Homo-oligomer: A and B are copies of this chain.
Amino acid sequence: MEVTKSKMLRRLACIAIVGLIAEGRAADVAAQDIVSTYRGEAERLTQAALGDSAAYKRLTELVDRFGHRFSGSESLERALDWILAEMRADGLANVRGEPVMVPRWVRGEESIELRSPRALKLPMLGLGGSVGTPAAGITADVLVVSSYDELSARAAEARGRIVLFNAPFTTYGETVRYRTGGAVAAARAGAVASLVRSVGPYSMRTPHTGGMSYEEGVARIPHAAITSEDADMLHRMQRRAERVTVTLRMSARMLPDSESRNVMAEVVGRERPDEVVVLGGHIDSWDVGQGAMDDGGGSVAAWEAVRLIKALGLQPRRTIRVVLWTNEENGLRGGNAYRDAHRSELSRHVLAIESDAGVFAPLGFGFTGSDEAFAIVQQVGRLLEPFGAGAITRGGGGADIGPIMQEGVPGMGLNVDGTRYFWYHHTDADTIDKLNPREMALCTAAMAIMAYVVADLPQALPRAPVAGR
């Protein structure tokens, strides 16, 4: 990794030099201003982040003590209590939890057994929001299809059956459609339940859970994920003209909404405390694994970024606020509640930064906002080049900051080496060991530098005119 990183660094340095020549003197001078003004603070933040494994240790303690943190669970709320106490111990300002009502889906007991052509228990995970089956389960023949198109072509065969969508993983965007919409499509064709091949590029017989949805006026049928290995096997059995029969049992159900919280803390700005740079991740997770990568890591890295700024005695012109949003995974209630509770101050939100792609080796940030703001954050990116995180690209944000970005707040997502992200996403294998202390420290440094510099710049990031307003 070190070799790759230093290569990347040299490449980025070359791009930077070419850029200086191409963009002319004005940009050069502005860039020099930001780089020379903030180089010292950037180096101090980087050294502090890399000086120990505090971020990784804090995340480890969080996930070991509380495990996964599903919306509506006791473990989430106890984790939030602990985080609030720790934030106060860190000496951060305005530490608080803002109430959010969240949906409460309970998985219960669940199983899938292959009955024909031979008996076998299949690893599985029900999909979040799914209804359950009758207590005796649903026993039916399986129709395996590779796509919605194939289901349309074979709709007559789907009636009374369990439809399995076995779409090979290409991109997440292309294949997650079967997880989110498969139950509706299968029910429309008369299926009694639906299954999907887990959405991920690699499997060690690993089922992936995730969200799904129903549609008004379409029967609500149970919907679950099996492993890619088993989806392929059932497909092969069907191709051999073997009768494939399974029994699906799920006691999943939806309970009344319960109260959770967005937790937050601040370093208050020295000149314009009412102007805010907000950064964070989502503290809730699915009810599997430890939710270490998705998104304990992003939450703790953002929190640690703010703690480091405070610990180094840095006080920028504007306020920096870390927010750990609740219920990103199965409702986005946290992101929406933040928008609603802070609507009056959104015009003074200078930038929102989210980390929800795993705290793997950071590459840079994706930015959504005005061209003028983009030029400025690109210059801030030069301060991240020493550790390979200087690539500031167009387009980016995050689910939790989506609602305030729609209100005109410039948004930014931390980009990382995502090679293995979807190996672990929403699985029992999303555990602390999949992350690396140094990479997590670099993510912390990248967020700390970006948040600090943007919060301290003499001028607020210029906003784009909001369309239609």
Question: Hey, which bits of chain A sit against chain B, CB under 8 A?
Answer: 60, 64-67, 75, 117-118, 120, 123, 203-206, 228-229, 232-233, 236-237, 289, 423-424, 427-429, 431-433
Contact = CB atoms under 8 A, between A and B. Distances in A.
29 contacts: A60-B236, A64-B233, A64-B236, A64-B237, A65-B117, A65-B118, A66-B118, A67-B118, A67-B120, A75-B118, A203-B204, A203-B429, A204-B204, A204-B206, A204-B423, A204-B427, A204-B429, A205-B289, A205-B427, A205-B428, A205-B429, A205-B431, A206-B429, A228-B433, A229-B429, A229-B431, A229-B432, A229-B433, A232-B433
Most chain B CB inside 10 Å of its own CB: which residue of A75, A203, A229: A229
A119 to B, nearest CB: 9
A229 B430 CA distance: 10
A90 to B, nearest CB: 20
A162 to B, nearest CB: 19
Contacts of A66: 118
Nearest to A78: B118
Contacts of A428: 123, 204-205
A147 to B, nearest CB: 20
A240 to B, nearest CB: 8
A424 B75 CA distance: 32
A334 B9 CA distance: 58
Contacts of A237: 64
Would you list the 6 A-B pairs with minimal beta carbon distance, nearest first? A204-B429, A204-B204, A205-B428, A229-B431, A205-B429, A204-B206
A424 B229 CA distance: 13
A157 B420 CA distance: 40
A432 B428 CA distance: 22
Contacts of A236: 60, 64
Contacts of A123: 428
Contacts of A205: 206, 289, 427-429, 431
Contacts of A229: 429, 431-433
A205 B203 CA distance: 11
Contacts of A60: 236
A296 to B, nearest CB: 14
A211 to B, nearest CB: 21
B118 A424 contact: no
Contacts of A206: 204-205, 429
A232 B431 CA distance: 11
A117 B203 CA distance: 30
Nearest to A117: B65
Nearest to A289: B205
Contacts of A204: 203-204, 206, 423-424, 427-429
A229 B429 CA distance: 8
A269 B75 CA distance: 70
A203 B289 CA distance: 13
Given A60-B236, A203-B204, 20 more contacts: A64-B233, A64-B236, A65-B117, A66-B118, A67-B118, A67-B120, A75-B118, A203-B429, A204-B204, A204-B206, A204-B423, A204-B427, A204-B429, A205-B427, A205-B428, A205-B429, A206-B429, A228-B433, A229-B431, A229-B432
